[in-house]
Amino acid sequence: MESLIRQWQGETVITRYDSPTGAWIFIAVYSTLLGPAAGGTRMRPYPNPQAGLEDAMRLAKGMAYKYAVPGMPWGGGKAVIALPD
Q: Which residues have a catalytic role annotated?
A: 78
Q: Nearest Cα to 18, choosing from 64, 84, 69?
A: 84
Q: Nearest Cα to 40, choosing from 76, 4, 1?
A: 76
Report the alpha-carbon angle 19-23-28, nearest 5.
120
- DSSP H helices in 20-48: none
> Distance between CA atoms of 40 and 25, rounded to whole angstroms?
13
